[in-house]
Homo-oligomer: A and B are copies of this chain.
Amino acid sequence: MEEGQPNQGIVLDVLAERYASPEMAEIWSAAGKVRLERELWIAVLKAQRQLGLDIPDEAIAAYERVKNNVDLARIRTREHVTKHDVKARIEEFCALAGYEHIHKGMTSRDLTENVEQLQILRSLLLLRDKAVACLARLAERARELRDLVLPARTHNVAAQPTTLGRRLAMFGEELCLALEHLCWFIEHYPLRGLKGPVGTQLDLLTLFAGDHDKVHALEAEVARFLGFSRRLDAPGQVYPRSLDLAAASVLVQLASAPSNFARTLRLMAGLELASEGFSEGQVGSSAMPHKKNARSCERINALFAVLRGHWNMLAALAGDQWNEGDVSCSATRRVALPGMMLASDGILETFHWVVAHFTVFPGMIESEWRRYAPFLATTTLLMEAVKRGAGREQAHKALQRAAQAAAEALQRGEDAAAHFTARLAATPELGLDSATVQRVLAHAHGLLGEAHAQTDRFVAAAEAWLARFPQARAYAPRDIL
């Protein structure tokens, strides 16, 4: 490309270009898809010859020779004539090879549906392994931060003690549930197969002179080639679009834990408890040089919105099949299928990076702790009061009054802990003597309940996932844009 002569008007897919990994982009690139189609055609050719059809060796060899010769512009030119994309690609491949043997007994959808399902399957496998890698990294950080105590927050307000490791375990468990779902989906994902224009396999049966077994053998071979263990039996021209939607649904579930994690890290950054990390050379804000923005966490949330948009595109197709089908799903799927895979990939890539790089500020966490410690013990104080015979409701009211007075003192800038303790001792209906109150408050740091055990069990679960999919070790957090 000449300087000053940029590729005018070219619009790249922004998900592939900015957020997703090269390996995911490759699966959904135009050239990659053409190569996949040609492999499918050749596989069908070979199986057809094996099953007795009259197909010359030289033809197959010719197709093999030119299969990587992908000229998208020339295919597009053909499509402008035929107004039919598959037809254009058949013509191109035949013209290159100098034969007219491919696509026999097949309809367009015998090609496209199967290739698309292959793209879906390969994408899901990639996402599964990456999710396992993220999970393993999250478990590492949970182990590292297992003992870092901080106030858990509900309604965005300090509530009871937890540890940062335990908080990560919370997101981790959600990710495990999604992974489990994804694995089930992959294992049960059925291939449409070679079904012909309306699903009855009529043309293949004609091609094989009515021999049902040969039709089945051909289809089984194609499924094997593509890596599917199950096949649909009675689809129409198209497979049910609720299958695409089910895949999208699992991806939305998969992205939920990263999105929750990101949302929470953005909140922690607002309290200066943590930062998502900063790459060498990164410029925070062009105008405000001191800021370390949670821009990658924000990106995770942003991509999650994209993903749910793709879900909605596919949801408009499910349940909208007319008879045996048509192409009213085509443009939608051309956008949403790659879109949802690239967005999911971008989410996991970003999540992986953030999980690996986020840093915590123990000084700030300590100061946060001191501020809220007295309040964090209130439920324990309530329990103690109840154990001593106080009515739950009355004790609750008394504690609430004392705590709110202390909170107001804090908001005025006074010492809330002292304020709170004094008031409780002066509240006889609680039945709590001053020593008990002091003891509970002094030990607030230890009011962690099952936090450690929960963290440890999550770490063990993550390790089991990694043991099940050891190839996930290959994924390191990658530098992101």
Contact = CB atoms under 8 A, between A and B. Distances in A.
Contact of A323 (B70, B91, B152): B152
Secondary structure class of chain A's binding surface, majority of residues: helix
Nearest to A451: B200
A374 to B, nearest CB: 9
A169 to B, nearest CB: 4
Q: Which 3 A-B pairs have the closest CB atoms?
A: A290-B403, A259-B319, A289-B400
Contact of A393 (B91, B288, B320, B367): B91
Contacts of A22: 9
A217 interface: no
Interface in A215-270: 215, 232-237, 240-243, 245-246, 249-250, 252-253, 255-260, 263-264, 266-267, 269-270
Contacts of A302: 327-332
Interface string A361-405: 101101100000001001110111011000111001101110110
B382 A287 contact: yes
Contacts of A256: 240-242, 245, 318-319
Interface stretch (A37-45, A80-88, A126-134, A466-474): A80-88
A12 B9 contact: no
A61 interface: no
Nearest to A15: B335
Interface string A165-179: 011011011100110
A430 to B, nearest CB: 11
B9 A11 contact: no
B392 A104 contact: yes
A288 B15 contact: no
Given A157-B269, A200-B454, A205-B450, A367 B286 contact: no
A327 B279 CA distance: 18
B154 A237 contact: yes
A199 interface: yes
11 contacts: A6-B70, A11-B28, A84-B282, A107-B285, A169-B234, A174-B240, A202-B449, A283-B400, A292-B404, A302-B329, A309-B335
B8 A156 contact: no
Contact of A160 (B202, B338, B391): B202
Contacts of A3: 69, 71
Contact of A71 (B6, B85, B154, B279): B6
Interface residues of A, number: 217
Nearest to A297: B328
A153 interface: yes
Contacts of A14: 13, 331, 334-335, 338
Nearest to A248: B249
Interface in A13-51: 13-19, 22, 25-26, 28-32, 34
A108 B235 contact: no
Given A94-B393, A298-B155, A382 B201 contact: no
Interface string A447-459: 1111101110110
A349 B328 CA distance: 16
A321 B146 CA distance: 21
